[in-house]
Structure 1
């Protein structure tokens, strides 16, 4: 699944999800050790549900993997931030990609936290078989990293 998410990211951004060149198992590192969150939700419903979250995302939102993968993605934002989040997702649906997003999100306990340097992309953009949307964000302001 993560390989497909990465392929869609590369198709729209021009590069792969950041991973140090020295890492032998890229997808294991992205899932378990990436210093940024990666999430994805499904398409085709009025209330998309997360189907992927890496360890950093689980830590930020304070959900277990089982809980996160049954969570409607709208609940990742507080009630007052959901309209803005939805507008951003609609932009991504039309354009395929958006970046530079920072803003509040809410964890399992209802505590607000900030995400930084968010990027959101359409999974399957440009095809009749779009299968969701994915996002990455940094839990703190990002240090400059060299991309592949």
Structure 2
């Protein structure tokens, strides 16, 4: 059985709650027999998030995301989110993130990403949304709004 940390449990709740607030939709249907954090971590679709820093760093990736990007949790959560896309697509990615930050979310995003081993893949129909800051954290970046994304459609190129 997969074990998750207290951070993962709390962050899963922030992701699920903020997704519902900005989109009006459920990110995941809660099961009574399993913690929300574990359900989100084991979900068959991608969920990722980054903090609100000036050069945002990934702070969450569920198991599907970790497998897609071919990374372990400890490496994934140290990665600047800009490094998940090839440099030539950084302007498109930045424009989408700005629009998501301004409006609360961006729906139906399509873009090319790259795994840690260099595999390129196209993500489709992604939803990117704003995640509220962490209250009571000592981390300065935690007091800024972050962003998260979910998608269930991708194809290797």
Which TM-score band (shorter chain)?
0.7 to 0.9
Q: Say whether 1:12 aligns with 2:22.
A: yes
CA RMSD, aligned part only?
Answer: 1.8
Q: 1:111 to 1:138 in 2, by over 3 A?
A: same
Out of 14, 18, 33, the residue aligned to residue 24 of structure 1 is: 33
Whether contact under 8 Å (1:123, 1:133) holds in the other structure is yes
Equivalent residues, number: 135
Q: Which residue of 2 aligns with 1:136?
A: 150
Q: Please list the CA deviations of residues 11-35 of structure 1 after superposition, one character each: whole Å capped at 9, or x if unmatched.
A: 001122133x656324312112x11
In the alignment, structure 1 segments of 5+ residues that lack a partner are 142-148
1:76 aligns with 2:84: yes
The CA deviation at 1:131 is 2.6
TM-score (norm 1): 0.84
Runs of 4+ in 1 over 4 A off after TM superposition: none
Equivalences for 1:1-148 in 2 at 5 Å? Answer: 1-19=11-29, 24-25=33-34, 26-32=36-42, 34-43=43-52, 45-124=53-132, 130-140=144-154
1:80–1:90 Cα change, 3 Å: same
Unaligned runs of 5+ in 2: 1-10, 134-142
Retained in 2: the 8 A contact 1:60–1:139?
no
* Residues 105 and 23 of structure 1, relative CA distance in 2, 3 Å threshold: farther
What TM-score do you get using the length of structure 2 for normalisation?
0.79
Are the aligned partners of 1:100 and 1:119 in contact in 2 as well (CA < 8 Å)?
yes
Give the C-alpha shift of residue 139 in structure 1. 4.0
Distance 2:45 2:54 in 1: 27
Q: Distance in 2 between matches of 1:136 and 1:27?
A: 15
